[in-house]
A and B are shown apart, each in its own frame.
Chain A
Amino acid sequence: MSRTIRRRDTPRAGREQSDRRAGALGRRGLVGGIAGVAIAFSLSLGTSCSGGEEDDGRGPVLRHLADAGTAAFADFAAEAEALAGATEALCAAPSAAALEEAQTRWRATRRAWSAAAAFLFGPAMDHVSALDYWPVRIDTIEAQIAAAPPTIDVAYIDGLGTSAKGMPALELLLFGAESDPAGALAAITEPMSGGARCAYAAALAGDVHGRAATIADAWSGGFADALAGAGEGSELFPTRKAGIDAAVNQAIEVLYAIVHTKLDGPLGNLTGAPVDPEALESRFARATRDDLAANLASVWVAYHGDDPAGPLEGIGALVAAIDPDLDARIHDQEGYAAEAIAALAEPAGEALVADRGPFQAARDEVDTLRRMLKLDVASALGVTLSLSDNDGD
């Protein structure tokens, strides 16, 4: 009680003096605090006007990604142009040789497309559905051909829904639903509907070529430079990190598509049903394994570089700088996944029905690689995951 009284009786002058002292200190503290925040603020404001000049290794990696993406789509466009020409030639003079040439061109185009998978961000995004609607709906394609106008051209195809066009639809027409070249040739030479069928195929090939050229032009015409110059005034990629993030997320997307869409589906893993060979990619062309291998290879170009035996040029260079052990484990895992895919037999449909084991093994190895990229690499590089793992139909 006495202590309370003493405190209350503190002379006002003394208390005010004490308060003034505290007030002065408080003002100094506030000034110091505001100055500290101001310094920090100025740092953050500077982010928008400078990407930092220090070479942190990301510049060369972005350049590699830009060059690799440009090359991949240039290759795709060149193959698509050859495919369009071969399909036109087939329709002009149908023959077994012309069909075989068109089939060869389709496989090459498909391989180039699959090898560009790790670069399907930016300008390619607008065309993915139109180029690669899959699994193909046979009934839809046949109905479109039956209902097509006398003149079937690229403009007509452009107006159709995505389920009626793209490389898988063209595959159906060139290879036949039974993967029977003689049957496919018979269908496009059949007197009543063969002409329309081949014209539809040629228009599909033209549409694919047009889209491929558009993507390639967009990459070489500015997008690649924007990616390579990420963090240096690029509006698309305001920071170098944004460019790296886009590439890492796309690599993860590709691996997810392999696991979930291209293997889990045919394996029956998503429904518990028996294996479903009709859900295999590129089954008419018997190019399932090639597509998967090219997809994985595209991821490896983004991660490692153009030459698998050469030095690290891609994202892996950044990973190795932070965590060499992680990079080594990723190299090992990519090897396991590539081996598992290479072990798949063709025709994949028959092989799947005979023994699902190799397909499950390939799925598991690719999934492990995906996990390492999605969890370990993304964490090490500070990647903001885009969480769009709902690829599929």
Chain B
Amino acid sequence: MTATEGPRPGALEALRARLGRPIDAASLAAFRVLFGLLMLGSTIRFAARGWIDALYVAPELHFHYWGLGWVEPLSALGMRALFVGLGGLSILIALGLFYRPAIALFFVLFTYVEVLDKAVYLNHYYFISALSLLMIALPLERGWSLDARRRPALRAAIAPTWALWALRLQVGLVYFFAGVAKLRVDWLLHGQPLRLWLAARDELPIVGPLLRLPETALAMSWAGALFDLTVPFLLLGRRTRPFAYAAVLIFHGLTGLLFPEIGVFPWVMSCAALVFFDPAWPRRLWARVAGRGSGGARMAEAFAAPPTRAPGPLLTAALALFFALQLALPLRRLAYPGETAWTEEGFRFAWQVMLVEKTGMVTFRVRDPASGREWLVDPEPRLSAMQAKQMAFQPDMILEMAQVIAREEAARGRAVEVRADAFVAYNGRPNARLIDPDVDLARERDTLAPKPWILPAPPRR
């Protein structure tokens, strides 16, 4: 095709036809079951560790996302009940009982919890939110579900191709953008932050001394970048898929063991990557385990079922909008000046996974112009350990804290100026100022525009 040629006539129809083609619904059903079980386990783990109270009940203030300043936690009882609800919905999703309302409500509740406090942001929480939103549109209840048992008209062993490819695209985007995010000097030339992290795990037997070596961090950095960039494509190829999935298990297994603080993320991604396998894999696995045939008769029955279709115009538009957002969010960092990992502008919701080791320290200088008095405010005693740690190196959270201080002083009748002495150590560089100490943060507004008061990242020595 030359540059002057347009799309081949009928290409769109051909694509729609392909997307509407039937596939075995087994892998979609397995994905739903695994998702429900993982979310149930994750919810129980969250509650058992006391995080509901520690993260959402105990803190006297929360850091809000832009535009969501009105979102506040429920009471202690309400938050606990909400997590009980999330656990119950996870069970319903796994069972395929009232699947569509269950997944829709799960998305709403889970996302509500996620947006309560920026300090708690995790890439995999966002992944769960995005995935559950997408799952509302997918017919994942056709097989292995109580819905199908209770409503035989719903039952089908086939599903449309587009449903599986929507999941594959979502999972693939996570890996791909995580790989693109690693194409930076710190990661590729200095092996940072892996160099710092691996050195901290150097007491492992046998491999411990290796983890101290800069060369190990560099090799693992390159391997990690190559893995993220290529694995979605290798998972798509029938010949390369088994090796790629083995790499998935090894990669996530190792990261989970070396960095236990990443929690359930390795499990989530290891399960999610199964969507790249042949859609009949669960049926074959079951047949092998149960010692029966490969399920060919079931497939024959399935093909006699009503044909599957490409998504309708409304659903197509919704999916297009969803994936456009999935592309735009990671790419928005290109619209901001400076290093994203330092400024944090465009950092969240962009699969900037495991890219930075930052530690910060911030003190606020408050000045009352009327009296000329100036004093220091150390915010840490008012914050949870996680909030204090996260706020210390995230400019928008520092801004919000400054404005909380200003509001509180205003309530006492003082229109104060608030400035921040914020210092951050970033990926092994000497600590440096993050924020212009002369800027009155009480007068600044939190917008999506670049923040000129964020100082440039320090150079590496």
Cα–Cα, bound, A231→B18 (Å):
59
Q: Which of B25-33, B217-225, B380-388, B445-453 contacts A (4 or more CB under 8 A)?
A: B380-388
CB pair B253 A375 closer than 8 Å = no
For window 325-345 of chain A, which residues contact chain B by CB distance below 8 Å?
325-326, 329
Q: Please, which residues of chain B bring their CB within 8 A of the CB of A56?
A: 202, 209, 212
* Cβ-based interface call for A390 (8 A): yes
Residues of chain A within 8 A (CB-CB) of B241 are 22, 25-26, 29
**A37-B253, A43-B257 are known contacts. Are A52 and B202 too (CB-CB below 8 A)?**
yes
User: For B241, B243, B246, B378, which residue has the most chain A Cβ atoms within 10 angstroms?
Assistant: B246
Q: Which residues of B contact A380 (CB under 8 A)?
A: 196, 428
Residues of B within 8 Å of A272, CB to CB, are: 366, 368, 371, 373-375
What 1/0 flags go to A366-383 for Cβ under 8 Å of B?
000001101110111110
Convert B357-370 into 0s and 1s, putting 1 for each residue whose CB lies closer than 8 angstroms to a CB of A. Answer: 10111000010100
- Residues of the A chain whose Cβ atoms lie less than 8 Å from the Cβ of B423: 371, 375
A36 at the B interface (CB under 8 A) = yes
How many Å lie between the Cα of A46 and that of B206 in the bound state?
9
Decide yes or no whether B425 CB sits under 8 A from chain A. Answer: yes
Q: Identify which of B205, B366, B424 gathers the most chain A CB atoms within 10 Å of its CB.
A: B205
The one of B296, B389, B431 in contact with A12, judged by C-beta atoms closer than 8 angstroms, is B296
Judge whether A43 and B428 touch: CB under 8 Å. no
Interface 0/1 of B183-222, CB less than 8 Å to A:
0000000000000110110111111110010000000000
- Contact flags B156-199 to A (C-beta < 8 A → 1, else 0): 00000000000000000000000000000000000000001101
Q: What is the bound-complex CA distance between A37 and B212, given in angstroms?
A: 21
User: In the complex, which of the residues A25, A33, A273, A389 contacts B249, with contact meaning CB atoms closer than 8 Å?
Assistant: A33
Contact in complex: B249, A37 (CB < 8 Å): yes
B431 touching A28 by the CB < 8 A rule? Answer: no
Would you call B344 an interface residue if the criterion is a C-beta within 8 Å of the partner chain's C-beta atoms?
Answer: no
Q: Is A264 an interface residue (CB 8 A)?
A: yes
Establish whether residues A241 and B294, one from each chain, have CB atoms under 8 Å apart when the complex forms: no
A260 within 8 A of B: yes
Asked whether, in the complex, the Cβ of A390 is within 8 Å of the Cβ of B380, the reply is yes
- Are the C-beta atoms of A379 and B206 separated by less than 8 Å? no
Give chain A residues whose Cβ lies under 8 Å from the Cβ of B430. 326, 329, 376
Given known pairs A47-B204, A52-B205, A272-B375, the reply for A29 and B245 (CB within 8 Å) is: yes
| B contact residues around A295 at 8 Å (CB) | none
> Bound complex: CA of A234 vs CA of B378, how far in Å?
36
Contact A16 B374 (CB under 8 A): no
Chain B residue numbers with a CB within 8 Å of A375 are 359-361, 423-425, 431
Residues of A contacting B280 in the complex (Cβ-Cβ under 8 angstroms): 19
B263 at the interface (CB under 8 A from A): no
B217 to chain A, nearest CB (A): 12
CB distance from B290 to the nearest CB of A (A): 15
Closest to B247 in A: A33
Tell me whether B242 is interfacial, beta carbon within 8 Å. Answer: yes
Cα separation A51 to B205 with both chains bound (whole Å) = 7
A360 to chain B, nearest CB (A): 12
Q: Which residues of A contact B149 (CB under 8 A)?
A: none
* A4 in contact (CB, < 8 A): yes
B277 beta carbon closer than 8 Å to chain A? yes
Q: What is the CB-to-nearest-CB distance from A207 to chain B, in angstroms, rounded to a whole number?
A: 30
Contact A40 B203 (CB under 8 A): no
Q: Is A139 an interface residue (CB 8 A)?
A: no
Given A29-B243, A271-B375, A387-B389, the answer on whether A50 and B17 have CB atoms closer than 8 Å is no
B281 touches A26 (CB 8 A): yes
Q: How far is the CA of A379 from the CA of B428 in the complex (A)?
A: 7
State the CA gap A55–B161 with chains docked (Å): 57
B339 is an interface residue with CB less than 8 A from chain A: no
Chain B count of residues within 8 A CB distance of the other chain: 63
Hey, which chain B residues are within 8 Å of A44, CB to CB? 204, 257
Query: Which of these, A50, A326, A381, A385, contacts B205 with CB under 8 Å?
Result: A50
* B333 interface contact, C-beta 8 A: no
Quick one: which of B197, B249, B366 contacts A36, CB cutoff 8 A?
Answer: B249
Decide: A52 near B245, CB < 8 A? Known: A44-B257, A264-B376.
no
Does A353 lie at the interface of the complex (its beta carbon under 8 Å from any beta carbon of B)? Answer: no
Give the interface centre of B204, B209, B373, B389 by most chain A CB atoms within 10 Å.
Answer: B204
Give A391's nearest chain B residue, CB to CB: B381
Complex interface bits, B245-281 against A, C-beta within 8 A gives 1, otherwise 0: 1111110011001000000000000000000011011
Are B212 and A371 in contact, CB atoms less than 8 angstroms apart? no
Q: Contacts A43-B205, A326-B430; is A382 near B257 (CB within 8 Å)? A: no
Q: Mark B223-249, 1 if CB is under 8 A from A, else 0.
A: 000000000000000110111111111
| Interface: B64 (CB within 8 A) | no
Bound-state Cα–Cα, A3 to B13, Å: 13
Q: How far is the CB of B283 from chain A (nearest CB, A)?
A: 10
B49 is an interface residue with CB less than 8 A from chain A: no
Flag if A40 contacts B242 (CB, 8 Å).
no
Residues of B within 8 A of A264 (CB): 376
- The interface residues of chain B lying within 8 Å CB-to-CB of A323 are 428
0/1 string, A229-273, CB within 8 A of B gives 1: 001000000011100000000000000000010001000111111
Q: Are B204 and A270 in contact (CB under 8 A)?
A: no
Min CB distance A270 to B, Å, is 6
Q: Compute how far the CA of A8 lies from the CA of B299 in the bound complex, rounded to whole angstroms.
A: 13
Contact indicator A19/B284 (Cβ below 8 Å): yes
Q: How far is the CA of A12 from the CA of B428 in the complex (A)?
A: 58
Instruction: Tell me if A34 is interfacial: C-beta within 8 Å of chain B.
Output: yes
Tell me if A32 is interfacial: C-beta within 8 Å of chain B.
yes
Q: Which residues 71-93 in A have Cβ within 8 Å of B in the complex?
A: none
Residue pair A33, B361 in contact (C-beta under 8 Å)? no
- Taken together as a complex, chains A and B put the C-alpha atoms of A379 and B248 apart, in Å, by 29
B428 near A30: Cβ-Cβ < 8 Å: no
Q: Are A269 and B242 in contact (CB under 8 A)?
A: no
- The residue of chain B having its C-beta at the shortest distance from the C-beta of A240 within the complex is B203
Which residues of chain A have C-beta atoms less than 8 A from B246's C-beta?
Answer: 28-30, 32-33, 36
Q: Are B375 and A270 in contact (CB under 8 A)?
A: yes
Tell me, yes or no, whether A23 is within 8 Å of chain B by CB: yes
A43 and B206 in contact (CB under 8 A), knowing A4-B21, A26-B241, A241-B200?
yes
In the complex, A374→B378 CA distance in Å?
15
Q: How many whole Å from A53's CB to the nearest CB in chain B?
A: 9
State how many angstroms separate the Cβ of A52 from the closest Cβ of chain B.
5
Q: A16-B294, A33-B248, A40-B254 are in contact. Are A387 and B425 (CB under 8 A)?
A: no
Q: Are B357 and A379 neighbours in the complex by a CB distance under 8 Å?
A: yes
Chain B, residue nearest A387 (CB): B385
Q: How far is the CA of A306 from the CA of B389 in the complex (A)?
A: 33
Q: Is B150 interfacial (CB 8 A cutoff)?
A: no
Question: Which of B250, B359, B374 is in CB contact (< 8 Å) with A385?
Answer: B359
| Min CB gap A12→B, angstroms | 7
Complex-state Cα separation, A28 to B385, whole angstroms: 45
Which 3 A-B pairs give the minimum distances between C-beta atoms?
A29-B242, A382-B200, A33-B249
A-B contact pairs, 27 of them (CB 8 A): A3-B14, A8-B21, A16-B296, A22-B238, A26-B241, A26-B242, A29-B242, A29-B246, A30-B242, A30-B246, A33-B249, A33-B250, A33-B253, A36-B246, A36-B250, A40-B250, A40-B254, A46-B205, A46-B206, A49-B205, A241-B200, A241-B203, A264-B376, A323-B428, A371-B431, A375-B425, A387-B388
**A29-B241, A272-B368 provided; 6 other pairs, C-beta below 8 A?**
A16-B296, A22-B238, A22-B241, A22-B278, A26-B242, A270-B376
